[in-house]
Structure 1
């Protein structure tokens, strides 16, 4: 009886699915040599009102605005009998079609020539498609299922890789618009590998010149990453259609990037054709796969529902992107791709950036997260002062993830970040209940105690204080201190170019060069009487000085020569290194629990 009921239920669900009106897309690439694709969309069973067709302005995983409509032209709309319909433009991103008979065929040409995690690229090497950058869609019909036919170039031996459900004959299915727009596609003559993990397939489509042995070695590292990350969260998510696919495109015409999606990721790199595959973008692979838990399913409430028409602002990116970044390199060490020494010494980069950045006086990690619409591949033409005001939530969150991990390990009860992330996964990821910053704080209180959670969040998340890394590193056998004690510094990097010194950024606030009134537009002629045209670097001069010394700097500002006396500071850079203390403490931290 139970089997009969299940059969009836499945039949009813199948009937309802197929009874839904389906939006049908088709894309072809006859003029790929000139980066063009031809797109048609067929809408049927429409209401008797104006059809509003739009291009997105955002893309899943990106938080800033991107004007995808600028690459759309040759637009035409016809009704069910082939009659051309009137099109009006209420704004730069939308086409209104009126006078239809319930059917509209919307057609256009797309120019696409950037292969990364946001845009699309069409040429005779591949069709690299991020859906929001490629396909228009209609308001009020987002709920409808979608079928898309890819008219691929068989003369180029193209194949299709995507998280979309295959229906056969190069036709694929998405249950609604959001899943469709979240499903990138790589169409090329690519390498393919796959391996089963806990009953689900992990697949890789790798578009790059490489030998079979190179691809095998690379995929083995990918799978080592997958397994190490599964151990962090205790299990893989339940992937739709029981598959996850890495869409890796390492070609000189691509741009370096990585972008997560629900059951796939795009990883791109501008690798030259003759360069060995090696470990190309393996860190990006690590970062993006962690997102199948943290972001795709452990998801900030501020990103739900994702808005394809406006920028998406979230105050939780320090956790969503930052804790993901903490695990990125840690997983490489656990997977045997990086040594413990390489991992520990690499920690200094992020710590230097956050410790020495004046932006902490302006914004907390939550507020840094709010800046994403301005910095996440956003475009602007006016100068900004981010050297003094903005710390990447990726790096800021990463060093806080490190601090939380080490702090938990100093509590009683064998606590650690892995087990906390397992709890977060059970509370918010597996259930797919969106979270807020306060939810993460409450979960930390549940795991480590209210006093610990309140102090950590009040000092380091909602405020900009720095944890006591000296004590935390000492507890795991890592030395943490100044990289160059006693070395004189101007506090802002100066590059010698055409015989004069040029600041590589705006002057860093409160640095010696900032306090002396020297700005990014000035050209430094000499330091301490030594002309910069006679040395290779500023360090060649500063090596003769110590912190606290005064030095005269001559510089040119818009044709007028000026002089400033600068009081040199001490080089503020830190280093991290393995100490001679307890090996077991360090190994228990870096290796999986």
Structure 2
């Protein structure tokens, strides 16, 4: 969330009164927290409080009010006050004497970058999912007391300013809402760089040696990403905190905040998290620059009452995704060979998607309120209409970096320019600002060509030529057969488990999601085999005569297989010396 901290301090100084929160965990075994809030010195006759409907870094709605119950309101003398419900998210309180004290119970049992989880191992708190607030009092400072007396071994980690052992401070509501908190018996590591403290707290079942190894990887990521921008952001209170929770009961996620990030995974370091979780560390720390301070105007101010939509997520999230893998390569965490191999899945997902005919990257970004951990019960056609702005943007970042390198420039220097113009002074930018910045860096014609072809339209860059200049090989075509829809197996047999992609063999044959595949070319599929086992024997051009069941009726469909359209990216062992040197410059530590 964009917050200009000096402004906040000046603003908060205007308000002597503060709102005070207390949370305790007497019934943690049943995932409940008890919360008390005091709103003093009220001037309005009716105080309206509410639960947020979304959370910083999220773009969809989540309706946190559903987990609140047992609400009571009293005045300064402890007398009960009337409460009415103007809408599903709000409570209106009348008859107070200038002060309203609230008490309620919160249920929370999902630990990730959005929700709250309370159990006997920790209190994982995302603030919008936890605490009520009053929009009319948003400029007041907030004091919060995390009451851990029922778990005396728990410690508290947050980007909030610490005032006492269990008491913390936010200059106003927005900073409070942007400050996730992990309370547990966690381990911690820290180091100082450029006069600022980088801290990693980790709630996990692993060993100190495992954490040490993971911490060294994190330190190198910090150094490599700092080299891109030339400096660290100025973190409020001089500290940045990785809030890690790698426990079996949590859900995998990562969520950026101004001076911290949430990192959650059900995979421990010993069971694959050492490799599997580190990409999220790289992604989220890059957000300390790109999206937290290099901030789209369309996300300002962040609205806690509605979905937040931006057409710039291809840059804010997508370019951050491009730098995720690149940071791991430069930090020596993955090899150049692994980096090249890692491009394949995203590359094929983006450039073989029929969705490009419907939406360009800006419009894909507009889809975020429907896909960013959003929920719906009606089927959708995302296989044919949506490409993740994370993936789309990462491939556009790759293309832009390689195009700039042809000119003797690079994306690192462009990102540093954007940082200096918009991030460091915290001036929100729009789409035209971004194009203007690229024009200032690489020339007007270059910027118009890039934005015209790839941002305002959905053309595919010449990756074969771009990758060749850095010693990577792009192979087109395959001898493998291509079906065009996912097929899975359950107790009843095989079935089509996704919408067939447009103009693929399965789509042309008229197959639909949910179709049961009974026989292929007159043969019943072997129950012990996978679809890959069954399908692998066929070649492009062959026909599959399928007997299927749909809506309780049997019918026949003929699928004419085609060659797999997937591309393959790999290190070109025969690359010219100048291409090998360019690859080394691109992927090596800075």
Quickly name the TM-score band, shorter chain normalised: over 0.9
Question: Which residue, 468, 476, 482 being the options, matches 1:474?
Answer: 468
Residue 329 and residue 408 in structure 1: after superposition, are their counterparts in 2 closer, same or farther (change >3 A)? same
Q: Deviations over 1:426-452 (max 9, x none)?
A: 011001000111111110000001111
Contact 1:214 1:277 in 2 (8 A): no
Aligned to 1:588: 585
1:127 paired to 2:120: no
Query: What is the aligned length?
Result: 579
In structure 2, distance between residues paired with 1:439 and 1:487: 45
Shift of 1:584: 1.1
- Structure 2, gaps ≥5 residues long: 1-5
Aligned to 1:7: none
SS at match of 2:86: coil
Aligned to 1:319: 315
Shift of 1:564: 1.9
SS at match of 1:87: strand
Question: Which residue, 157, 163, 167 being the options, matches 1:161?
Answer: 157
In structure 2, distance between residues paired with 1:275 and 1:527: 39
1:506 paired to 2:506: no
Superposition map of 1:169-248 within 5 A: 169-248=165-244
1:350 paired to 2:350: no
Q: Deviations over 1:355-407 (max 9, x none)?
A: 11111111100000000000000111111111111100000000000000001
In structure 1, distance between residues paired with 2:35 and 2:480: 61
1:457 paired to 2:451: yes
In structure 2, distance between residues paired with 1:565 and 1:319: 42
RMSD over aligned Cα atoms? 1.9
Shift of 1:543: 4.7
Contact 2:206 2:268 in 1 (8 A): no
Q: Deviations over 1:328-373 (max 9, x none)?
A: 0110011011011000111011000001111111110000000000
In structure 2, distance between residues paired with 1:42 and 1:55: 16
In structure 2, distance between residues paired with 1:537 and 1:135: 48
SS at match of 2:199: strand
Question: Which residue, 470, 488, 503 being the options, matches 1:495?
Answer: 488
Contact 1:491 1:571 in 2 (8 A): no
Q: Deviations over 1:559-592 (max 9, x none)?
A: 2221122221111111111002132121112125
Aligned to 1:304: 300
Aligned to 1:21: 17
In structure 2, distance between residues paired with 1:267 and 1:534: 40
Contact 2:287 2:320 in 1 (8 A): yes
In structure 1, distance between residues paired with 2:337 and 2:179: 38
In structure 1, distance between residues paired with 2:515 and 2:162: 59
Q: Which stretch shifts more, 270-279 or 137-146?
A: 270-279
Shift of 1:14: 9.2
Q: Deviations over 1:157-186 (max 9, x none)?
A: 000000000001311010000000000000
1:339 paired to 2:335: yes
Shift of 1:153: 3.5
In structure 1, distance between residues paired with 2:531 and 2:73: 63
Q: Deviations over 1:212-232 (max 9, x none)?
A: 222211111111110110001
In structure 2, distance between residues paired with 1:290 and 1:14: 28
Question: Which residue, 51, 56, 67 being the options, matches 1:55?
Answer: 51
SS at match of 2:241: strand
TM-score, length-scaled by structure 2: 0.95
Residue 485 and residue 366 in structure 1: after superposition, are their counterparts in 2 closer, same or farther (change >3 A)? same
In structure 2, distance between residues paired with 1:432 and 1:82: 44
Shift of 1:558: 2.1
Residue 16 and residue 233 in structure 1: after superposition, are their counterparts in 2 closer, same or farther (change >3 A)? closer
Residue 104 and residue 468 in structure 1: after superposition, are their counterparts in 2 closer, same or farther (change >3 A)? same
Residue 539 and residue 87 in structure 1: after superposition, are their counterparts in 2 closer, same or farther (change >3 A)? closer
Superposition map of 1:379-398 within 5 A: 379-398=375-394
Q: Deviations over 1:113-170 (max 9, x none)?
A: 1111000011110010000000000121100111111111464500000000000131
Contact 1:499 1:534 in 2 (8 A): no
Residue 544 and residue 214 in structure 1: after superposition, are their counterparts in 2 closer, same or farther (change >3 A)? closer
Contact 2:210 2:270 in 1 (8 A): no
In structure 1, distance between residues paired with 2:161 and 2:284: 21
- Structure 1, gaps ≥5 residues long: 1-9
Shift of 1:197: 0.5
Superposition map of 1:431-450 within 5 A: 431-450=425-444
Residue 592 and residue 114 in structure 1: after superposition, are their counterparts in 2 closer, same or farther (change >3 A)? same
Residue 118 and residue 578 in structure 1: after superposition, are their counterparts in 2 closer, same or farther (change >3 A)? same
Q: Which stretch shifts more, 63-72 or 18-27?
A: 18-27
Moved over 6 A (4+): 13-16
Aligned to 1:67: 63
Contact 2:314 2:389 in 1 (8 A): yes
Aligned to 2:3: none
Contact 1:499 1:533 in 2 (8 A): no
In structure 1, distance between residues paired with 2:475 and 2:374: 36
